Structure 1
Amino acid sequence: MSLSGSYDDQNIFAKILRGEAPCVKIFEDDAVIAFMDIFPQSPGHCLVVPKEPARNLLEMTPDASAAAIQRVQNLARAVETALEPDGIVVTQFNGGPAGQTVFHIHFHIIPRWEDVPLGRHGGGQADMDELKAQAGKIAAALD
Structure 2
Amino acid sequence: MFDANCIFCKIIQGVIPCQAVLRTDSVLAFLDMNPVHPGHTLVVPTAHHVTLMDLPAALGGDLLDALSRVARGIVAATGAHGINLMQNNHPAAGQVVMHAHFHLIPRFDDDGLTLWPQRPYDSPDAMAAMAARINTAIAAA
Aligned residue pairs total 113
Equivalences for residues 1-143 of structure 1 within 5 A: 8-118=3-113
Hey, what's the Cα distance between the residues in 1 that align with 2:93 and 2:64? 19
Deviation at 1:98, TM superposition (A): 0.7
Moved over 4 A (4+): none
Hey, what's the Cα distance between the residues in 2 that align with 1:11 and 1:39? 18
Tell me the TM-score normalized by structure 2.
0.75
The alignment's C-alpha RMSD in Å is 1.7
Secondary structure of the equivalent of 1:90? Answer: strand
Tell me the TM-score normalized by structure 1.
0.74
What do residues 71-129 of structure 1 show as CA deviations (whole Å, max 9, x unaligned)? Answer: 1111101111221211100111111101100000111000011122349xxxxxxxxxx
Q: Which runs of 5+ in 2 are unaligned?
A: 115-141
More helix by share: 2
Q: Which runs of 5+ in 1 are unaligned?
A: 1-6, 120-143
What do residues 15-62 of structure 1 show as CA deviations (whole Å, max 9, x unaligned)? Answer: 001111111111111111111000001111011111121001100110
Q: Which protein has the larger Cα radius of gyration, Structure 1 or Structure 2? A: 2
Q: Which one has more relative contact order, counting CA pairs under 8 Å at least 6 apart?
A: 1
Identity of aligned residues (%): 37
Contact 1:42 1:118 in 2 (8 A): no
Deviation at 1:8, TM superposition (A): 4.4
